[in-house]
Structure 1
Amino acid sequence: MRKYLRNITVGAALLLLAGSCTDKFEEYNTNQYQIHDADPATLMKSMIETIVNIQQNDSQMQDQMVGQLGGYLCCSNTWSGTNFSTFNQSDAWNATPWNTPFEKIYGNFFQIQEATNSTGHYYAFACMIRAITMLRVADCYGPMPYSQVKKGNFYVSYDTQEQVYTSILNDLANAADVLYNYYVETNGNAPLGANDPVFDGNYSGWAKLANSMRLRVAMRISGTWPGIAQEAAEAAVTHKAGLIESNSDNAMLSCGTQSNPYQLAAVSWGDLRVNANIVDYMNAYDDPRMPKFFNKSTLAGKTDKYVGMRTGDADFKKADAAGFSIPAYTATSKLMVFCAAETAFLRAEGKLRGWNVGSKTAKAYYEDGINLSMEQYQVSATEYLKIDEAPVVSHESDAVQNATATITNTVSVMWDDSEADNVNGKNFQRVITQKWIANYPLGLEAWAEYRRTGYPELYPCIDNLSDCGVSSQRGMRRLSFPYTEAQNNKANYDLGVAELGGADNEATDLKWAKKN
């Protein structure tokens, strides 16, 4: 963890330099990667590694610390006592999920933009990576600079939330077109080659990911801008490149010479454990994927069980966390970016909304999602799909945490054929709950979907230290804008806050979020 703190100090200093001396922006970004006049393929690799962070400190600050709000993981180190899990994170930590993507993406993005004159497959690819990465930023903060960001200046006007998501959808759609056309016209040429740690340069795979991401984004905004969402979703499923529909299509990011950051944080640092929410749901459903997701507990009297930690325990000591279950990753395990199961669940929701997202029924896509996820982890779905009663989801206190709790789970696994297709019933809750399990450990995505739908119900924070009215049950609703925005980009920041429709704090809902 010392390495992390030292790097944050250096990163903060560099960020302040970039903010106050924008004429040195190019020098800062080229020095950051030690690349000068490199070809676009070389520049792309470090950009790809931001779509799900490989770098250990970036992963910890974003995918783990913020990601734990989605119910998959739990940070077992309370550090200085100001943490996301207790809703009182420091200003510096709060800014990291904004600052790091901007720093890591735009230096190389602008070089590619210049080298390609904003045309061709390399530029379309760079725009796609920017879109995927900045989606996570928009999901955390809301309005943000996107369309107006220029080389040499991050402090520009904010796009509205509608504009951000629309621009992201447009960039993904264009990338799907350009990359697939290139793939066909060149008979499968793979220009990125070894610089692509996901698909080994195969643009067909990337085009499928772009289309699948369009489905994800469309569903995010489906309740707020339904016309934009439906058009995007229906265009994605009919695109000639296709979708990520089989497990052989899955987008999995190789860590290369670096260690899997979840394994590193859990085993080497002792900073990460599995969250009680995901463990207790899977225990309740007797889910056969548990051995693939978690290691068993070493807590006294519970060595034959999977036991997760409750989040938001302000009095917890890191040393006490040793016995809780940890993620079942090795140092070389790949990071999941997008899986076929998610595509199926997204289509199931689309059918519930009455969209034309395929020839199957909502039930068929739902069951496809479960089958695909079970296949991904090499277990059987047969008995799982037969579960016709809603099990009780509960957490028992143990020798370490006095944290007994029960969740009002009202859905079985089996689809209710008597229910009409809509997003107001229990079948919708089934889709979201099973997608949540299948998407482990994508915490930022889980947090966004929890805020959008209210599903699955999660345990409340144990110790709520919020000073802005964050609800223990609903949890944090967004991250406040980085303090440097109010200092260095005041006029645009004020317009961004006005676009929120509420205070710039963690209790304000984004426009697409469920309001109750």
Structure 2
Amino acid sequence: MIIKNKLIFGWALLLLCTFSCKEDLIEMNINPNAASPESANPNLVLSTVLTEAGKTVLDLGYQDIAGVMQHTQKDGWSGSHNSYDWNRSNSWSGYYAILRNNKFVYEKAVELDQELHQGVTLVIRGMMFGLITDLWGDAPYSQALKGAEGTPEGTFPVFDMQEDIYRGILDELEMANQLLSKPQSAYNSSIESADPYFYGDPAKWQKMANSLRLRFYMRLSEKLPDFAKQGIEGILADPGTNPIITDPGDDAAMSFNTESEGSSWPNNTKFDVDASNYRRLKMCETLVEAMRAKNDPRLGVWANPVEIPLVVDASLPAGTDVIQDGKRYLSPDVLEARNVALEDISQNQDYVGIPPGIAGAQVYNLSPDANQAAFNPHVSWLNDRYREPNGPLLKARLISATEVNFILAEAALKGWAVGGTAEDYYNKAIQSSFATWGLSDQAEVYLQQENVMFDGTVKQIIEQKWISSWTAAAESWFDYRRTGYPELEAGPYTIRSAIPVRFYYMTDERNLNEANAELAISRLETTNYSEVDGANSAWSKPWVIQGTGKPW
């Protein structure tokens, strides 16, 4: 009996130790650095949401869409940038990743009754879903972000029609406007430490919400003119309830304040050993010539003057090809021997851009660098500030006073009641852009030039808006689609002879969510330029421009 009791006691002790060890191991295996959904501080996740959203917008406007809109060209590895050879490689997974984290913060804010967090996350939700539908067309929206629920709808969400997405985000941005209408002291939470845009100021987030509403109403102005008119006039009729961004000091702009690789200006040379990414990105002739024609001082902020200009001089002895006093002098026979026509080079002594979509961009303008090393001394490189990891002008710009004033100039030109004239708003937009780039004192002289003074056309408004969208070129792409301005021509070696109007639906999405993806593709409008691809083409028109005759 004693032996039996000892055995029972021994087993009990062993089990007790086993369970204790298990419990200790479970506790020990909790990662103290990981964010638990139950205990995570929403600001830790919100900070990631806001910074990733900024980097995403900048990546669009500073990289391949800057190539589409002919702000820049690459002189090496240039297929996607110069020629639109995207090959269904543009994925929306990063956009939805931001939205999933944003949803976590919103739901946590509802649980904790944090109206400030709710308002800010609705602004980001509206902006990000707006980008998705702008870029692709129909997309998962009403059933999106529900994958964790394990339902068929969450796993295989429908692609909402583009009109419904735009209407939905406009409603959500109006909700954000209401949530963000209180003074900062009235909220029971703060986002100051997590907010790289406005440092927790709800009034500025409210202005961003309403400014985004203006953006999306204008996006719909060709397709739903009465709806857009009513929306924009309604916002402007009550500025107390619907404040908007009108001053560059209120721009939704994120600085790059650190020198770590993940949070510094993209393509800077501090983290790129041979500076190849910086070097490959050069100015495009289209933007350069548009700005040179207007003596635009912003060009010198964005670009370096050409290092070694070309000078072709018929009075020089035959065979002359010499660099002297910082210039390269050539006799005409040298060009003839290389089968290069005079009109195929640039002799600009200040700024030289690479023409869009040409073959051999790396050797344009008689560059001696034929191996795609991107050392061409005869074209303009980006300004040296873009070598740096940070700086006062290096910002991701989500929406600005410049854009808002151009929107209002266009609305006024349409005859809508927006409290000012088209010319006034046009001038304010340009003044805002000059202030943004540190050139406030030069704006008035610029505006007095004959080819800059307001001529009463939407063409001029959109062309100036396009120039001002430097590093934020995606917005000018969306303007181009609905207006046809600026009047861009695809380069001779682009994969189609027209500017694309959307991204392809990616192959993975079509394979995983086939039925819904194919239905969305069937709603695209095929064009003469999309026949080679089929309906899922970058040249098939999404709903927002179907039937408008724009941009081509």
TM over 0.5: yes
In structure 2, which of residues 350, 357, 360 is the aligned counterpart of residue 305 of structure 1? 350
Match of 2:452 in 1: 413
Match of 2:432 in 1: 372
| 1:458–1:507 distance in 2 versus 1, CA, 3 Å | same
In structure 2, which of residues 295, 298, 301 is the aligned counterpart of residue 289 of structure 1? 298
Q: Is structure 2 residue 90 aligned with structure 1 residue 94?
A: yes
| 1:232–1:41 distance in 2 versus 1, CA, 3 Å | farther
Point out where structure 2 has 5 or more consecutive residues left out of the alignment: 1-30, 148-153, 311-346, 363-371, 527-534
Q: Distance in 2 between matches of 1:250 and 1:60?
A: 18
Q: Is structure 2 residue 58 aligned with structure 1 residue 53?
A: no
Amino acid aligned to 1:507: W
Amino acid aligned to 1:415: F
Q: Distance in 2 between matches of 1:115 and 1:298?
A: 54
Q: Is structure 2 residue 104 aligned with structure 1 residue 110?
A: yes
Structure with higher Rg: it is 2
Deviation at 1:61, TM superposition (A): 6.7
Match of 1:383 in 2: 445
Q: 1:52 is paired with a residue of what secondary structure?
A: helix
- Identity %, equivalent residues: 27
Amino acid aligned to 1:259: S
Match of 1:462 in 2: 492
Amino acid aligned to 1:308: G
Match of 1:163 in 2: 164
Amino acid aligned to 2:251: N
Q: Deviations over 1:318-374 (max 9, x none)?
A: 3245433214434212222222122111111111122222x2111111112122222
Q: Deviations over 1:79-124 (max 9, x none)?
A: 6xx5253132233x232xx122112331342354255349633233
- Written as runs of structure 1 = structure 2, the 5 A alignment for 1:321-400 is 322-323=376-377, 324-327=380-383, 328-329=385-386, 330-332=388-390, 333-357=394-418, 359-377=419-437, 378=439, 379-388=441-450
| 1:190–1:236 distance in 2 versus 1, CA, 3 Å | farther
Q: Deviations over 1:113-159 (max 9, x none)?
A: 25534963323321211221222221111111112213313630111
| 1:457–1:193 distance in 2 versus 1, CA, 3 Å | same
| 1:118–1:162 distance in 2 versus 1, CA, 3 Å | farther
Match of 1:228 in 2: 227
Q: 2:176 is paired with a residue of what secondary structure?
A: helix
Deviation at 1:512, TM superposition (A): 2.9
- Written as runs of structure 1 = structure 2, the 5 A alignment for 1:221-300 is 221-237=220-236, 238-239=238-239, 240-257=241-258, 258-261=263-266, 263=268, 267=275, 269=277, 270-300=279-309
- Written as runs of structure 1 = structure 2, the 5 A alignment for 1:62-73 is 63-73=62-72
Q: Deviations over 1:12-60 (max 9, x none)?
A: xxxxxxxxxxxxxxxxxxx9x9532322222111211233316xxx955
| 1:262–1:217 distance in 2 versus 1, CA, 3 Å | farther
Q: Is structure 2 residue 516 aligned with structure 1 residue 492?
A: yes
Amino acid aligned to 1:248: G
Kept in 2, the 8 Å contact 1:86–1:314? The answer is no
Q: Is structure 2 residue 36 aligned with structure 1 residue 36?
A: yes
Q: Is structure 2 residue 373 aligned with structure 1 residue 319?
A: yes
Match of 1:423 in 2: none
Report which stretch shifted further, 454-463 or 475-484: 454-463
Kept in 2, the 8 Å contact 1:193–1:201? The answer is yes
Q: Distance in 2 between matches of 1:142 and 1:108?
A: 22
Q: Distance in 1 between matches of 2:134 and 2:109?
A: 30
Match of 2:530 in 1: none
- Written as runs of structure 1 = structure 2, the 5 A alignment for 1:117-128 is 117=111, 120-128=115-123
Kept in 2, the 8 Å contact 1:277–1:459? The answer is no
Point out where structure 1 has 5 or more consecutive residues left out of the alignment: 1-30, 389-411, 417-425
Kept in 2, the 8 Å contact 1:461–1:475? The answer is no
Q: Deviations over 1:224-256 (max 9, x none)?
A: 012332232223333425111112212210223
Kept in 2, the 8 Å contact 1:273–1:308? The answer is yes
Q: Distance in 1 between matches of 2:359 and 2:112?
A: 49
Q: Is structure 2 residue 538 aligned with structure 1 residue 506?
A: yes
Deviation at 1:445, TM superposition (A): 0.9
Deviation at 1:309, TM superposition (A): 2.3
Q: Distance in 1 between matches of 2:475 and 2:382?
A: 20
Deviation at 1:67, TM superposition (A): 3.6
| 1:228–1:195 distance in 2 versus 1, CA, 3 Å | same
Q: Distance in 1 between matches of 2:454 and 2:469?
A: 20
Q: Deviations over 1:163-182 (max 9, x none)?
A: 11111211222112111226
Q: 1:336 is paired with a residue of what secondary structure?
A: strand
Q: Distance in 1 between matches of 2:436 and 2:224?
A: 33
TM-score normalized with structure 2 length: 0.73
Aligned length: 436
Kept in 1, the 8 Å contact 2:459–2:485? The answer is yes
